[in-house]
Structure 1
Amino acid sequence: MTENADGVSAGISRRKLLATTGLAGAGLLAGCTQSNTGSDQNGGGDSDGGSGGESDGDDTTPTSDVLSGDIEIAGSSTVFPLATAFGEIFQQEHPEVNISIQSTGSGGGFANFFCPGETDFNNASRPIKEGEMQQCEDNGVEPVELTVATDALTVVVNNENDFATEMTVEELKTLWSAESAPTTWSDVNSDWPDEEIEFYGPTDASGTYDYFIEAIIGEEGPGHRQDYSATEQDRTIIQGVEGSEFAVGYMGFAYYSTNTDRVTAVAVDNGDGPVEPSLETAKSGEYAPLSRPLFTYPSKQSLAERHVAEFARFFVDNTDNEQVVAEEVGYVPLDADQKAEQVDKLETAIEEANA
């Protein structure tokens, strides 16, 4: 196993979802998906069981019964546990496929790995930017945007904090804006204690960072404060907030959902009263403005490789899997219409890649 710069082992879930839970390996997803991958052992992509049909490449190119090859994935720390969950189960189904996943941040993944053509997928917690699209185009890489879940970006405080468990969007903006840059809680709200704030959050390579600016600070505003402990490791944010009574941080909901005893989630008031982050409030849209879509971007060029295309199908075919996406990882699954749209988009891309 290899490790990225932040010490995240490629191919291993931070939560070790599949090693210890009742997923029972490949059996669970094999029963929940209509993906071609479920029948590759009996004839690969030529099976009639695929959700999106067969590509031209499968019709004209002889294939073996066994999928094999390497798949390189980088990008969002938020999407990391979902990609890892599906990757590990896919490898149980197809042990000769090696899937390596790095948590580099959405922007770090695009700039340093995906757009230079070094990875097959980039996970992202926000849409690809115009500059990243241009970088990819300059290198002959064509991203295919696939929505895979919905997240509730979560602000957390220490469990001893009994004063800021509810915050307005304006208070969050004051906390994190480079312009206001408060040093004590009383600088944000005069009713709060005159205690120094410790800040923890993702780096500027993170899609979570970008989305927080868009949703809370404003893209035309003064920008995100830089005097905070920045990391691509969400567990470090949890540890920091847990260890300091007057700390605050933010991250994807999945990491909070497995640490609810260690930190407290802040209910966000967007004008209609405070709403706590949850799968239900994210799905309904009540948890505004911090509900957001999550993405993975396969390279169309990589989709010409059968094992990459089959993993992409497997990933998308399971975006409506309640047990894995919601119960095990902690995100809102796609509904049937959303999934069908992503399946169609992927199948079109695979067909074009094999044309």
Structure 2
Amino acid sequence: MESGILPEVDPAALSGTIYAAGSSTVYPLSEAVAEQFKADGFAGEIKIDSIGSGAGFERFCKSGESDIANASRGIKDSEVENCKAISRTPIEFRVGTDALSVVVSKENTFLTDLTLEQLAVIFSDKAEKWSDVDPSWPNEPILRFTPGTDSGTFDFFVEEVIQKPAKIEKLDEAKKIVLSAKNLQTSEDDNVLVKGIEGSPYAIGYFGFAYYQAEAANLKALSINGVSPTFETAESGEYKLARPLYIYSDAGVLKSKPQVAGFIHYYLTFVNDVIGDVGYFPASEEALTAAQQALADALK
């Protein structure tokens, strides 16, 4: 998607190190772009840490260690303030769309679709067994698997499934409802969640569509309110758990490190070539053009 907003970038002409950290959801996408960037000639080092959106913003806005923050949610006002304290102004670049997938084991015979209301009960202290949610379901404990509290995926899920429907004022209050549920395992590593859910027909969890797609032989993605996660339903907003994916950087970083500016330019140019293979859906052309414009403005 060469837009003409920015000149073409030649990875072979760039050197140095690039450090990105944050969302486990965005991680495989950034990894795929980085591999292509290196294949096209970049000889420097690219380090990408999968630590959750919140922890990624800590590294970008508090310690200033990272050049790029990967995020599966928008940056919070408090994080922007942290950035200001170290003379950084975060610039947002939209890179794709995820359909957060609610999944069970292929061995689960009683679930194919959930309402948002049922999902809210399942991930709360209101139900201990499946039969507490629906009497026709098994009299077995609900084994819950959820991303950790540093995860943008966790924040997004709690906000959309618990906080907004129940009109709870503070996100932290809604988080307590989820974290007080029994048989709950949290992990910042989505592969740990995958293995846990695959291990029992009574397990349920959620993570980015890419992690579901990679394990589709062993997992079943549930439809929500009768709508399955697909490109069309994510783009239209019909699928209620669709969300944007971002990377963030700062004009000072971009100007002082041409390799970071070049990598982000390359990312925005070629992300749609790899995003489908990774397991996510493209951002609109308008969103990518706006991101390229934001990069051009930052480099003026």
2:138 is the alignment partner of 1:193: yes
Which residue in the other structure is 1:67 paired with? 14
Which residue in the other structure is 1:159 paired with? 106
Which residue in the other structure is 1:147 paired with? 94
User: Distance between the aligned counterparts of 1:350 and 1:174, measured in 2?
Assistant: 48
Q: 1:333 aligns with which of 265, 276, 282?
A: 282
Aligned to 2:290, the other structure's residue is in SS state helix
Which residue in the other structure is 1:22 paired with? none
Which residue in the other structure is 2:267 paired with? 315
Aligned to 2:102, the other structure's residue is in SS state strand
Q: Give me the TM-score of the superposition, normalised by structure 2.
A: 0.90
Query: Structure 1 pair 311/51, CA: closer, same or farther in 2 (3 Å)?
Result: farther
Q: CA-to-partner distance for each residue in 1:254-297, whole Å, 9 max, x for gaps?
A: 1101111111111100xxxx111122321232212x00000000
Q: CA-to-partner distance for each residue in 1:207-233, whole Å, 9 max, x for gaps?
A: 000000111011626423224111111
Q: 1:285 aligns with which of 237, 240, 254?
A: 237
Provide the identity percentage: 38
The higher radius of gyration belongs to 1
2:287 is the alignment partner of 1:342: no
The alignment yields a C-alpha RMSD, in angstroms, of: 2.0
2:243 is the alignment partner of 1:243: no
2:217 is the alignment partner of 1:264: no
Query: Residue type of the partner of 1:348?
Result: D
After TM superposition, the structure 1 = structure 2 runs for residues 34-183 of structure 1, keeping only pairs within 5 Å, are: 34=2, 51-53=4-6, 66-178=13-125, 180=126, 182-183=127-128
Query: Deviation at 1:319?
Result: 3.3
Query: Structure 1 pair 303/112, CA: closer, same or farther in 2 (3 Å)?
Result: closer
Aligned to 1:218, the other structure's residue is in SS state helix
Equivalent pair of 1:143/1:299 in contact (CA under 8 Å):
yes
What 5-or-longer segments of structure 2 have no aligned partner?
none
Equivalent pair of 1:177/1:223 in contact (CA under 8 Å):
no
User: Distance between the aligned counterparts of 1:141 and 1:116, measured in 2?
Assistant: 11
What 5-or-longer segments of structure 1 have no aligned partner?
1-32, 35-49, 59-64
Query: Deviation at 1:193?
Result: 1.3
Q: 1:208 aligns with which of 128, 153, 156?
A: 153
Query: Deviation at 1:114?
Result: 4.3
2:162 is the alignment partner of 1:217: yes
Which residue in the other structure is 1:3 paired with? none
Equivalent pair of 1:115/1:139 in contact (CA under 8 Å):
yes
2:189 is the alignment partner of 1:253: no
User: Distance between the aligned counterparts of 2:42 and 2:103, measured in 1?
Assistant: 39
User: Distance between the aligned counterparts of 1:177 and 1:128, measured in 2?
Assistant: 26
Query: Deviation at 1:53?
Result: 3.2
Which residue in the other structure is 1:41 paired with? none
Query: Deviation at 1:113?
Result: 4.4
Equivalent pair of 2:61/2:82 in contact (CA under 8 Å):
no
Query: Residue type of the partner of 1:346?
Result: L
Equivalent pair of 1:197/1:247 in contact (CA under 8 Å):
yes
